[in-house]
Amino acid sequence: MSEKSPLLNICTVLEAVEKIKIYAQGFATGMELREANDQMNFNAICRLLLTIGEETRKIPSQLIQLEPQINWSAIIGLRNRMAHDYRGIDADIVFDILAEELPILKLALINLLPQFSIGKDELGVVLTSEYFKHIFYISDHLKVV
C-alpha cells in the first residue's frame, strides 16, 4: 500500500481507535483516566487523538463527503487544539470523545473501506504489520483482488 494511499490513512485511524479502546479500558471518568499510571494512559490517548486528526486531514474530501454525519473539521480542530494547548486539555471532554465520538468515527471509516481494492498479498502485509495489529476486521470490508 502506497504511503500516499487514503487507505493507509484510514487504517492508521482505525488502529488508533482500537488502541485508545485498550488504553481507556476500565476507567469510569476522565479524571480517573488522566490520573492513572502517572498519566501514561491519558498521554498515550492524547497522542493517538493527535494521530487521528493528522491522518484524517489527509483523507481526500471526495471520500469524507461519503460520511457527512462526521464533523471532520472538528476532528482536525481537536488535533490542533491538543497539539498547541496541552495543559488546557479537559480530561472529561477527552473521555466523552472516547465514549461517544470514536465508535461513530470507526463505523464511518469502516463504511469507506469498500471504496478500496487491495491485493491479497498486500492485505496480508497490512494485517501482519506491527502497526495494524488490531484492525483484522478490515479484510471483511475491502475488495480483495
Residue 38 confidence (pLDDT): 96
Amino acid identity of residue 130, one-letter, is E
For residue 44, the tally of other CB atoms under 10 A from its CB is 16
Q: What is the pTM of this model?
A: 0.93
Q: Is the pLDDT of residue 89 over 70?
A: yes
Here the cell at position 87 is 495543559
For residue 49, the tally of other CB atoms under 10 A from its CB is 24
What is the C-alpha separation between 50 and 57, in angstroms, rounded?
Answer: 11
Residue 29: half-sphere exposure toward Cβ, Cα within 13 Å: 3
Q: Which helix (H) or strand (E) holds 47?
A: helix 40-57
Domain spans, the chain: 6-114
Burial of 65 (0-12, 13-18, 19+ CB in 10 A): exposed
Mean pLDDT, the chain, whole residue set: 93
8-state DSSP, 129: S
At 4-60, the pLDDT tens digits run 789 999 999 999 999 999 999 999 999 999 999 999 999 999 999 999 999 999 999
